[in-house]
Amino acid sequence: MSAVAASGVNGASHALDDPAELEAFTRWEQHEGGARVAESSLRIGGMHCSACAGTIECALKRVPGVLSAARR
């Protein structure tokens, strides 16, 4: 699963916002206008059907700052 998020949205602070944690699964890009955008690839085990993956994808899309989420 891949999620793309903008940096600094709503000032949210979560454990996974720690740069040391993020570097293992996140790639950063600088976009035009100075926006810093991250793409994180997550492996989520224990899913047995595409409906489960779809549920997680929809939940990620509702998180403030997440621009997109997709199964790969």
Domain count, the chain: 1
Order of strands, sheet of 26-30, starting from the edge strand that comes earlier in the sequence: 26-30, 36-41, 2-6, 66-70
Render each residue's pLDDT in the chain as its tens digit; 72 residues: 555 565 544 444 455 667 788 888 889 899 888 888 888 888 888 888 889 889 989 998 998 888 898 887
* Domain range for 59: 2-70
pTM beyond 0.85: the answer is: no
* Nearest C-alpha neighbor of 40 from the set 57, 28, 58, 51: 28
Q: Return the H-helix or E-strand segment holding 59.
A: helix 50-61
